[in-house]
Amino acid sequence: MQIIRDLLTLRAARSQLSGRVALVPTMGALHEGHRTLVVEAARLAERRIVSIFVNPTQFGPGEDLSRYPRQEAADAAMLAAEGVDILWAPPVEVVYPAGFATSVHVGGITDALEGAARPGHFDGVATVVAKLFGQATPDVALFGEKDYQQLAVIRRMVADLDIAVDIVGVPTVRDADGLALSSRNAYLTRSERTAALALPRALAAAAAAIRRGDPVPATLEAASATLHSAGFSRIDYVALRDASTLAAMTRLDAPARLLAAAVVGTTRLIDNIAVDPE
Ligand code: AMP
């Protein structure tokens, strides 16, 4: 596996790759969820590029950019063992050189949920992903359903900008007890890790209730209350949304997604699950 940190070398190495090329964009601190994307990428393409870039522009003021976990050597060892061709790990000044002045804004779908809780977040995400597509020129790119709204935003962006990259979503990988794997789980103390389990459990319970016909608003409020009593200090949202447009839903009349974001200790966690009508 080549580890590349500058654009000229990346372009040269990319031009040597024959067949379909997959890109898996990440911020590093890789876990089994990321590994699943990398393994899935091998089924879709002959060659694989993984990027590790902790993108400063998708972090808001007061967010965890400076303490975001970084462990590139361990990440590189895992990716090499998986047979990845290129690890693209550019420094910030390669991605955002002096004079950089462009931003990609995806409208509408970014207004609510993560977009409302983290103003500017999706501009940072869309801009860096557009750049990663321009840098690595993949045929296909894989994203986790763990970041469900992000996946929807990227799909919207490539459709709107006629970007010729197939976008593939990969189901969320969870620990045995149900907690979605996340690089941010590393921040959790033992007791916070226990409290955090309420998130997937509350989502599963609310999804089951909605499926059997319980009223949506009351069910979402109950899920919020459950998270509060489990030890979450702030609930940003618990929301039922159309699975493809992310439009708000008050009745389960189309395939839906139940999404939540909440803070335990100093850690903000997100999770989501499918809720399909009978
Ligand atoms: P990140 O490094 O957190 O930016 O994530 C990089 C990619 O991995 C994104 O497409 C995420 O949605 C995906 N990802 C993160 N956690 C998981 C997980 N538990 N299961 C599946 N994909 C994940």
The reported pLDDT for the residue numbered 96 is 98
Q: What is the mean pLDDT of each run of 10 residues along the chain (278 residues)?
A: 98 98 98 98 98 98 96 98 98 98 98 98 99 98 98 98 98 98 97 98 98 97 98 98 96 97 98 96
Tell me the whole-structure pTM to 2 decimals: 0.98
- Check residue 51 and give left, alpha or beta (phi > 0: left; psi -120 to 50: alpha): beta
Instruction: State if residue 4 touches ligand 1 by the CB under 6 angstroms criterion.
Output: no
Tokens describing residue 66? 């400076």
* Distances, alpha carbon 209 to alpha carbons 180, 203, 243, in Å: 21, 10, 18
Tokens read off for 54: 């902790």
Beta strands at 256-264 and 234-242: parallel, antiparallel or unpaired? antiparallel
Looking at residue 8, its pLDDT comes to 98
Residue 278 is predicted with a pLDDT of 84
Pick the closest to residue 245 from 112, 117, 127, 122 (CA basis). Answer: 112
Instruction: Say how many Å lie between the CA of residue 151 and the centre of ligand 1.
Output: 10
> Among 20, 74, 72, 82, which Cα is nearest to 51's?
72
CA nearest ligand 1 atom 10, residue: 143
Phi and psi dihedrals of 40, rounded to 5? -60, -35
Q: Point out the ligand 1 atom lying closest to the alpha carbon of residue 143.
A: 10
Q: What pLDDT does residue 225 have?
A: 98
Give the residue numbers marked as catalytic: 34
Report how far residue 273's alpha carbon sits from residue 114's, in angstroms, rounded to the nearest whole number.
16
Please work out whether the CB of residue 185 comes within 6 Å of at least one atom of ligand 1: no
